[in-house]
Structure 1
Amino acid sequence: MDVKSFSYQLVIVVLTLSACGHSDQRTDGLADSDAIPVRVIQLATRDTTQVVSATGTFTTDDETALSFKNGGVIQQIHVKEGDAFRKGQLLASLEPTEINTAVKQAQLGLEKAERDYQRARQLFLDSVATQEQMENAQTVFEAAKQDVQRVAYNLNHTRIYAAFDGYVLQRPASTGQVVGPGTPVLVVSGTGHNGWLLKVGVSDRQWSAIQLNDSATVTTDAASDKRFQATVYRKSEGIDPRSGTFTVFLKLKGIPAVASGMFGKAEIRLSTKIGAWFIPYEALLDGDAGTGYVFVTDDGQTARRVHVQVGGIQKDHVMVSGGLEDATSLIVSGSPYLRDGSKITIK
């Protein structure tokens, strides 16, 4: 073997040994860092009042859509949107020609039926007509009386009068328009003397948890420096098909300076207390739509990933309403580096 070949072999051996040494160092380094340092706290539940946040619009309990009983041509609408009105004031009327004709026809029919009945009765007394003929004529006469009462009733409903003091919210119809029975002509509201309501939409889970007379706090941007107290006044018994939510009405105490349709926010305090865990923000991972994940440890050496239900985000912590029943220690730092089953060391 010449000197040149020996030198090449020596270089190869040195490089191989050097690589093995570095590999051992990397392996040792990885072994030392397998356990991820974390910080933990002990878990304990405490009874708390759950708060449901919701938004909606202000309204009154006497907000009403006004319409005519029978269809026809609108003769005149005497108020506009935003106008105030007094109880008994004429608000709208139908063109009366058609109904007046029906009234006249009914009266003529009544007169004829009465004549026929009187004639049949006299013939019966003279033994010319049978009792059945006389009774049939009497039935027609009585039916004609009812027909007159019906058209007279309809005539009285060709005009809409205000049933209370209030103002016009909407005017969906116009003078000269042809409307059918029950078609809204005006949407009106009272002046709030009977109290204001905040109409909010909630989920089905929230709807089932909210009870009548639960207390609430209401705010609005129109009076940002004020907080109004309210109670749960009424709950809908069906879903609103337009919004896909259930409706809850909150009755405000006092008469705040608000207007119908104004936007408001509410925090409803549920009367039923629940057991919950209060954890730091940094412990919650992947929070979305009331759910999330946290890491817990049962033995102080291994991390376990747990799915939890988030009951609310509060000022300095997260309220967890479910998922931690079997856990005792919560990992509050180092969670982003963990996987289910990761080795940990407690700082």
Structure 2
Amino acid sequence: MKNIWLLLPCSLLLFSCGNKPAATTTTIDTIPVKIMPLQKQGSAISITASGQFTTDDEVYLSFKTNGIISNILVKEGDPVRKGQLLATLNLTEIDAQVQKEQLAFDKAQRDYQRIQRLYNDSVATLEQLENSKTVMDQVRQQLNTAQFNRSYSSIHATQDGYVLHKLVNSGQMVNAGTTVLQTNGASSTHWILRVGVSDREWAQVKIGDKATIEIPGQANDTLPGTVTRKSEGVDAQSGTFLIDVQLSGNKPAAIAAGMFGRCYIQSAASNSNTTWSIPYAALLDGNGSNGFVFITNDHKTAQKIPVTIAGVEKDNVLINSGMEQAGALIISGSAYLKDQSPIRIIP
């Protein structure tokens, strides 16, 4: 019995030593990724916009005075020559006003001449002579005003071109300044494509940027153009900012005022607004102008950083801030990464 009890502790000790658990080690898998080197550049931004063809000298013609329209001598689409008579008012009332002012001036002139003779005979005073002359001058100016209004009771073409719109008809009563006809100088001036863009696109486009213009129904026929004007305020009707793209060369026969067209503006970023062009697949959680990308500076660890989106191209996204300190961009494997994930570069 005594020997049995001596053996028990030893067997328990052997059992405990033989079943001691092994130490566990935790390993973190490295994720294979592809990268591309980053270099800040002034990438060209392509902006697509649609608008209407027009000219830069459209004129809205109207009468200087109120009246009833007597004749409108042109129709929409008619060619016109500079100085050509386009429309007239009924002149009965206007001629009567001119005649009234003429009679008043004639009377004032006679009165002044009579006072002048009396003054020469020392009958009238100098004050009476001066007052008479003042009245005559006032009436003369009233006559000039009436004659001026009479001359603008008819509408003449201001330049060679075409009638775009006829807004009233003969027999209508119109107020002074009411638009009667709209014309342009299409036969001798430059044509433009007026397009609407967003505020971000407006800021990217510069005067002088080159553009390619497509004519509707003629997909294979494109025209060169240049940005010549940027509006300084939003258009109330469309809610966009207007940009004028002037066509180079002569007007094509296929273009008419009001026709829709499309243009592709190539806007080169300035040195103060340079960008990075990255693949779509590298951008994560894009939301408006914000998003995230993964970069690496040591080729061992991935970093998740926020970026600002400047625009889009056909195959790439343009980033204008957030990547100033980045050495390389991770372009594949991003879906499996977290911030500070270990990575392994693959070809």
Superposed pair shares fold, TM > 0.5: yes
**Equivalent of 2:77 in 72, 76, 82:** 82
- Quote the Cα distance in structure 1 between the aligned partners of 2:340 and 2:170: 75
Q: Which residue of 2 aligns with 1:259?
A: 256
Asked if residue 180 in structure 1 is aligned to residue 175 in structure 2, the reply is yes
CA separation of 1:117 and 1:227: change in aligned 2, threshold 3 A:
same
2:64 equivalent to 1:69: yes
Counterpart of 1:309? Answer: 309
Distance 1:321 1:304, change over 3 A: same
What amino acid sits opposite 1:282 in the alignment?
A: A
How far does residue 35 in structure 1 lie from its aligned partner after superposition? 6.1
State the match for 1:232 in structure 2: 227
TM-score, normalised on structure 1?
0.80
What residue number does 1:343 align with? Answer: 341
Find the residue that maps to 2:182 and give its secondary structure. strand
Cα distance in structure 2, aligned partners of 1:338 and 1:174: 72
Matched with 1:330 is 329
What is the distance in 2 between the residues matched to 1:78 and 1:57?
28
Q: Could you tell me whether the CA contact under 8 Å between 2:67 and 2:173 is conserved in 1?
A: yes
Structure 1 residue matching 2:221: 3-state secondary structure: coil
Cα distance in 2, alignment partners of residues 88 and 329 from structure 1: 68
The one-letter code matched in structure 1 to 2:265 is I
The answer (yes or no) to whether the contact 1:283–1:335 under 8 Å persists in 2 is yes
Indicate if the aligned counterparts of 2:309 and 2:317 stay in contact, CA closer than 8 A. Answer: no
**Residues 1:152 and 2:147 are matched in the alignment:** yes
| Matching residue of 1:166 | 161
Work out whether residues 90 and 162 of structure 1, in 8 Å CA contact, stay in contact via their aligned partners in 2: yes
Write out per-residue CA displacement over residues 197-232 of structure 1, whole angstroms, 9 at most, x where no aligned residue.
Answer: 111233445444433333222112232111211122
User: Residue type of the partner of 1:323?
Assistant: G
Distance 1:163 1:283, change over 3 A: same
Task: Flag structure 1 segments of 5+ consecutive residues without an equivalent.
Answer: 1-27
Segments of structure 2 that go 5 or more residues without pairing to the other structure are 1-24
CA distance in 2, matches of 1:170, 1:44: 54
Are 1:309 and 1:323, in contact at CA under 8 Å, matched by a contact in 2?
Answer: no
Distance in 2 between residues matched to 1:35 and 1:174, nearest whole Å: 81
Aligned match of 2:9? none
TM-superposed CA distance for 1:290, in Å, is 4.4
Closer, same or farther: CA 302–230 of 1 in aligned 2, 3 Å: closer
Judged with a 3 Å threshold, the aligned counterparts in structure 2 of structure 1 residues 208 and 92 are, in CA distance, closer, same or farther, namely same
Give the aligned partner of residue 267 of structure 2.
270
The aligned residue for residue 22 of structure 2 is: none
Q: CA deviation at 1:124?
A: 1.6
Query: What pairs up with 1:55-204 in 2 under 5 angstroms?
Result: 55-204=50-199
**Shift of the alpha carbon at 1:83?**
2.8
Find the aligned partners of 1:113 and 1:34 in 2 and give their Cα distance. Answer: 108
Do 2:42 and 2:269's aligned partners in 1 also have CA atoms closer than 8 Å?
Answer: no
In 1, distance between residues paired with 2:319 and 2:54?
Answer: 34
1:281 is the counterpart of 2:280: yes
Provide the aligned C-alpha RMSD in A. 2.7
Q: What TM-score do you get using the length of structure 2 for normalisation?
A: 0.80
Separation in 2, partners of 1:75, 1:293: 69
Distance 1:301 1:90, change over 3 A: same
**Alpha-carbon contact 2:282-2:293 (below 8 Å) kept:** yes
Partners of 1:205 and 1:297 in 2: how far apart?
Answer: 30
Cα deviations across residues 291-337 of structure 1 (Å, max 9, x unaligned)?
A: 433233445334414223233323x3333232211222322223345
Residues 160-207 of structure 1: per-residue CA shift (max 9 Å, x gap): 111223222222223233222222111112234322111123344544
Q: Deviations over 1:62-111 (max 9, x none)?
A: 21111112222222222222333333332211221221121011011111
Number of residues of Structure 1 aligned to a counterpart in Structure 2: 317
**Whole-Å separation in 1 of the counterparts to 2:292 and 2:168:** 54
- Aligned ranges for residues 12-51 of structure 1 at < 5 Å? 37-51=32-46
The separation in 2 between residues aligned to 1:246 and 1:116, in whole angstroms, is 62
| Identical-pair percentage | 43
Equivalent position amino acid for 1:245 in 2 = T
Change in CA separation of 1:137 and 1:277 when aligned onto 2, cut-off 3 Å: same
Over 3 Å counting, the alpha-carbon distance change for 1:173 and 1:35 in structure 2 is farther
Quote how far apart the aligned CAs of 1:132 are: 0.6
| Secondary structure of the structure 2 residue equivalent to 1:46 | coil
SS in 2 for 1:225: strand
Say whether the 8 Å CA contact 1:291–1:310 is kept in structure 2: no
Q: Which moved more, 1:277-286 or 1:134-143?
A: 277-286
1:120, CA displacement in angstroms?
1.5
